[in-house]
Structure 1
Amino acid sequence: MLRLVLLTSLAALALSTDKFTRDDFPPDFVFGAAASAYQVEGAANLDGRIPSIWDTFAHAGNMHGASGDIACDEYHKYKEDVQLMEDTGLEAYRFSISWSRLIPNGRGAVNPKGFQYYIKLINELISHGIQPHVTLHHTDLPQALEDEYGGWVSRKIVKDFTAYADVCFRKFGDRISYWTTMNEANVFVLEGYDTGFLPPQRCSPPYGGNCSTGNSSTEPYMAAHHILLAHASAARLYKKRYQDKQHGVIGLNVFSYWFIPLTNSTEDKIATQRANDFYLGWFVDPLVFGDYPQTMKKIVGSRLPSFTYAESSQVKGSFDFIGVNHYITIYVNDNTSSLNMEDRDVLADMAVQFTRIRNDTSIFEYPIAPWGLQGILEYIKQFYGNPPVYIHENGQRTRRNSTLEDWPRVKYLQGYIGSLLDALSYGLYFVDLDDPDLKRQPKLSAHWYSNFLKGKNISSDGCIELQKNISAVSPYLLE
């Protein structure tokens, strides 16, 4: 149900000892959890909310029968969930606002019941001493705007997104100090407009999946360009009209693999930098330097939109922090032969082949490689001048309904926190989706994380001791 999030403006801190507590972190480290509106809210057809592109995508059968119609029903169970957060010891909760719940048609009047829900959620968090962190767009553009003009492939989205952000700043800004305009902007455009594996499912053969419209060669670059312009417009508005009074910060979130060369060859080293340019530099370079990486400009050519001087000036510096989501490390080797292709997509433009680090115990689970997160943080520090970085997502995945005894996630927590003191996981509480009441049950990792946050020593043998301590009160964990 929940994804752990570490929000920090400091670089990674590593400890050589295998014993550590919450107090080993600097005072301004903030530990919490995160989710997105479509993942947890439910109530998809209630109280004035109308479909987003996620609803359309799910109802078309792209999620194997699953949807966010009910999800975890946080819309009705938010008080219970916030209480779980406080009981665990969380300090922050990052959630997204559903644009189509707050402003159902994408523009125009605010939905009173949608507004009241977010006010109640925010107030509940604050009353329990938990910082609210808000994401404005988490892959859920109102379907009305997608239908009207194609959503993010149209420049019209800049004006509508800015107006939506203005409503959020005005309505909630006296309670919110942390704003993220877009979650995983790079993944959204790659999977939504190149491969078609995410909404709005726009792509074209031979690169994309089962899409009815789109152009994988041009639309990812168009959508990314408009996202950057929309982010800059919203950030500029916030800084000009609200920041002095509300004392908050605003940034943009990107997904980040840590790329390492498959071999020591010059070609693979160059390919690794190219992969960084296309994945990370695509969005972070314009924010820091005001333009796309030279590598991208050379390879993509006229398919890559250009910033005017005024646009470059607006985008450059339009952030207070960079949000980072990181899960796995990838080997990279050169595949420049793909550059000979015509009508290329983004992945062909990148001209690399990826090989995931193997996990000896499970193909499904992510390998534990804390040094990958450390590498990302060091790369951002060195290449982009040490900007503030918030680690928004990091963690281990397990199969749905597999077990409450989620040892792989505990080991992930132990490895990342112990090695870097800045990486956490997700899925702490099991939600029984087959139970009409959507009962919440703490997993083993919830107990581990709670013990850590409450200042108890966590050592290499702590997992064994943890099992002994909780088995007496939670026998179901041993079933």
Structure 2
Amino acid sequence: MKQSFFVITIILGLAFSVRCSYDYSKNEFPEGFVFGSAFSAFQWEGAIDEDGRKPSIWDTYLQSSNGHELIKDIDCDGYHKYKEDVRLMYDMGLDAFRLSISWPRLIPSGTGHVNPKGLRFYKNLLNELKRYGIEPHVTLHHNDLPQALEDEYGGWIDRKIIDDFTAFADVCFREFGNTVKHWSTINEPNMLASGGYDLGVMPPKHCSPPFGVVNCSRGNSSTEPYIALHNMLLAHASTARLYKQKYKYKQNGSVGITIFAYWMVPFTSSQKDKIATQRAKDFYLGWVLHPLLYGDYPDVMKKIVGKRMPIFSEDESDLVKDSFDFLGVIHYTTFYIKHLSNSVQGDYNLDVDASLLPIGNSTMVSFDVLPWGLEEVLEYIKQNYGNPPVYILENGQPSNHNSSSLNDTGRVEYLHAYIGSVLKSVRNGSDTRGYFQWSFMDLFEFLNYNYTYGLYYVNFTDPERKRSPKTSALWYSAFLKGTTKVHKNISVSSSPGFFSQ
């Protein structure tokens, strides 16, 4: 059994040149193209034990790592400050906003009783967005599975989740569908499956030696990632069918799914590295995309994984195939891929026999500016998966969370370059229809609580959670409102909304 996936090794000094340094304006994008920002329920709302909400698997994960109080100490209190935050979105000039519905807040036990206070909160939030002319793009599941379902039958590794997720989606469509026209079912299933069921670095913290990078008390890294993602695809497809049959003709909305999409390039010009790179693309991108277009997994996955790979029945294949109106792409950076021999055992198990190596000076708190990687992701989807409608639902630059991060010129450079790469891709025929920066404000970040992606700085030591615009917020607002070209070298006065170049 091949046992290696991504051995993360920091390689310094091997930077690629930035290919996007030109000036452009919002008006150069096609009519109807939307610009937004984003956050998720667990990372923004806070109020984890208020108004009937019950724990998610993230609450339990933090309790097990002695970090449960962090979410109370590092949250935005959006549950109580949503009106203020929507006003900030309006002032910035956002066309749209991506958010998620907390399943354990809306249906606390995962099934059955709908929490009236949770229902009222989301209706109020969505109506506030619409009142200011901001189009909501809603993700149904953003990593926060109700702990009750994990306890009852193991969550995503049991097929019962398909019916329960579909029932949750039914409530959301029924209650919010007159306001929401863009639904994403499951956030980055490839990342959820590998992080939660292979490495154990995310809830529900399943893994098994020698693959997991943490100590897990349960799991099987050689089988559970494939089972979990298989059930996510079936849950997505079941939900998409429900919407099409029951709601689409009345609500005139659309349903998609997101994929976490690094771009990958060979570490050397060797044939082995080139083959390993394509193999990694099939395992990481094709794992989700291939069933959506062709109704089955890539041949290389089926060959390598063998009997451990779940099989779609004929009916399931028909259900999954073409079960999306759009694809949500989540992209942050690009990596080298290096072939590993079978004798080398890595920390990751998706059977790829390849190392994933950061390019240049990328670290956990900084990504090199490699916008051509996003162009390549969009071109790859266009060439290999039928050029579907695409929304960039997450793209952003992390930085250390402290008051000095207000002058985040590195984030400005990153956003300028990546938005420019989207424009290039659109001009090259990609059916990309929107760009959502991650994240609107500093949030409780899932994997490292000390860095954030926000356009707004949030003072977590202030009981009022004061929001302060960073340089990137002012730059993005200038781009969104401007009728002239912008470039990355923009100086901003202390008064939000006033800019000089």
User: After TM superposition, is the score higher than 0.5?
Assistant: yes
Equivalence map 1:3-42=2 (5 Å): 18-42=22-46
2:260 is equivalent to residue 255 of structure 1: yes
Report how many aligned residue pairs link the two structures.
452
5 Å matches for 1:139-178?
139-178=143-182
What SS does the corresponding residue of 2:351 show, helix, strand or coil?
A: helix
Contact 1:133 1:178 in 2 (8 A): yes
Residue from 435, 451, 456 that aligns with 1:429: 456
- Match in the other structure for 1:357: 359
Out of 336, 340, 344, the position equivalent to 1:335 is 340
* Amino acid in structure 2 at the alignment position of 1:440: R
8 Å contact 2:37–2:436 — kept in the other structure? no
Check the 8 A contact 2:90/2:132 in 1, yes or no: yes
SS at match of 1:263: coil
3-state DSSP of counterpart to 1:395: coil
Question: 267-276 or 373-382: which moved more?
Answer: 267-276
Q: C-alpha displacement at 1:411, in angstroms?
A: 1.0
Is the 2:173–2:243 Cα contact (8 Å) retained in structure 1? yes
Residue type of the partner of 1:128?
Y
Aligned AA (1:305) = P
2:318 to 302, 310, 313: 313
Q: Structure 1: any 5+ residue segments left out of the alignment? A: 1-14, 475-479
The answer to whether the Cα contact below 8 Å between 1:218 and 1:345 also exists between their aligned partners in 2 is no
Instruction: Write the letter of the residue equivalent to 1:407.
Output: T
Q: What is the aligned-residue RMSD (CA, Å)? A: 2.1
How far off is 1:88 after superposition?
0.3
Structure 1 pair 68–214 and aligned structure 2 pair: CA distance change class (3 A): farther
Question: In structure 2, what residue type is equivalent to 1:207?
Answer: F
Would you say the 8 A contact 2:189–2:232 is kept in 1? Answer: yes
Show the counterpart of 1:388: 389
Closer/same/farther in 2, CA of residues 53 and 338 from structure 1, 3 Å limit: farther
What is the Cα deviation at residue 395 of structure 1? 1.1
Following the alignment from structure 1 to structure 2, what is the Cα–Cα distance between the partners of residues 451 and 226? 43
Task: Please list, as runs of the form range in 1=range in 2, the aligned pairs for 1:188-267 lying within 5 A after superposition.
Answer: 188-208=192-212, 209-267=214-272
**Corresponding residue number in structure 2 for 1:298:** 303
Paired AA for residue 243 in structure 1: K
Q: Which residue of 2 aligns with 1:454?
A: 481
Structure 1 residue corresponding to 2:138, chosen from 126, 134, 153: 134
Q: Secondary structure at the match of 1:264?
A: coil
SS of the residue 2:255 aligns to: strand
State TM-score, norm by structure 1.
Answer: 0.90
Specify whether residues 77 and 304 from structure 1 end up closer, same or farther in structure 2 by C-alpha distance, changes over 3 A only: same
- 1:395 to 1:88, Cα distance in 2 relative to 1, 3 A: same
Asked if the contact 2:187/2:258 (under 8 Å) is kept, the reply is: yes
Aligned partners of 2:283 and 2:350 also within 8 Å:
no
Change (3 A) 1:69 1:48: farther
Q: 2:190 aligns with which of 172, 179, 186?
A: 186
Q: CA deviation at 1:20?
A: 1.8
User: Is the CA contact 1:409–1:425 (under 8 Å) kept in the aligned structure 2?
Assistant: no
Question: Is 1:18–1:459's contact at 8 Å kept on the other side of the alignment?
Answer: no
Deviation at 1:455, TM superposition (A): 1.5
Matching residue of 1:347? 349
**In structure 2, what residue type is equivalent to 1:212?**
S
Residues 38-62 of structure 1 show CA distances to partners (whole Å, capped at 9, x for unaligned) of 0000111000000000111112226
Summarize deviations over 1:129-172 as a string: whole Å, max 9, x none. 00011101111100000000000000110110010011111111
Deviation at 1:188, TM superposition (A): 0.5
Contact 2:38/2:438, CA 8 A, preserved across alignment: no
**What residue is the counterpart of 2:399 in the other structure?**
398
Q: TM-score, normalised by structure 2?
A: 0.87
Asked if the contact 2:20/2:417 (under 8 Å) is kept, the reply is: no
Partners of 1:162 and 1:233 within 8 A in 2:
yes
Please say if residues 428 and 445 of structure 1, whose CA atoms lie closer than 8 Å, have aligned partners that are also in contact: yes
Q: Which amino acid aligns with 1:365?
A: S
Q: Is the 8 A contact 1:39 1:68 kept in 2?
A: no
2:14 alignment counterpart: none
Q: What secondary structure does 2:366 align onto?
A: coil
Asked if 1:274 is matched to 2:287, the reply is no
Secondary structure in 2 matching 1:284:
helix
The answer on whether the counterparts of 1:330 and 1:355 sit within 8 Å (CA) in structure 2 is yes
| Cα distance in 1 for residues equivalent to 2:235 and 2:282 | 21
Is residue 40–residue 68 contact of structure 1 (8 Å, CA) maintained in 2? Answer: no
The 1:16/1:98 distance shift into structure 2, 3 A limit, reads closer
In structure 2, C-alpha distance between the alignment counterparts of 1:440 and 1:358, rounded to whole Å: 33
Deviation, structure 1 residue 461: 6.6
Contact 2:222 2:349 in 1 (8 A): no
Q: Does 1:58 align with 2:62?
A: yes
- SS state at 2:312 partner: coil
Q: Hey, what's the Cα distance between the residues in 1 that align with 2:84 and 2:264? A: 40
Answer yes or no: is the 8 Å Cα contact 1:203–1:214 preserved in 2.
Answer: yes
Counterpart code for 2:30: P
Higher helix share: 1
Q: Secondary structure at the match of 1:194?
A: helix
Provide the secondary structure at the position in 1 that maps to 2:218. Answer: coil
2:40 alignment partner AA: S
Q: Counterpart of 1:434 in structure 2: which amino acid?
A: T
